[in-house]
Amino acid sequence: MSAERVITDAEAMDGENRLLSATELADYLAVPVATLYAWRYRGEGPPAMRVGRYLRYRWSDVQRWLELRVA
């Protein structure tokens, strides 16, 4: 048997592991969803990943991206 760790639904939805949809992130940042897509196209926004046909943002990546912009 391998010692693989299974992430529970509760862990996946909380804290660093949480994945945000484009709509959730746009609401959090108070910007239109189109702005997130434009940032992604220009390579300016937080790192995103495709899950199937959906765009998702890891909460820890969003936090890191925001921290880099605080001067």
28 occurs within a structural domain: yes
Handedness of CA 33, 36, 38, 41 (dihedral sign): negative
Q: What is the CATH number of the domain that holds 49?
A: 1.10.10
Say whether pLDDT at 48 is over 70.
Answer: yes
* Cα-based distances in Å from 70 to 40, 41, 63: 20, 22, 11
Q: What is the pLDDT of residues 13-35, one digit of tens each?
A: 567 779 999 999 999 999 999 99
- Whether 9 maps to a domain, the answer reads no
- Total domains present in the chain: 1
User: What domain range includes position 33?
Assistant: 18-69
Q: Is 34 helix (H, G, I), strand (E, B) or coil?
A: helix
Percent of the chain with pLDDT over 70: 79
Is 39 inside a domain boundary? yes
As a whole number of angstroms, the distance between CA 9 and CA 70 comes to 32
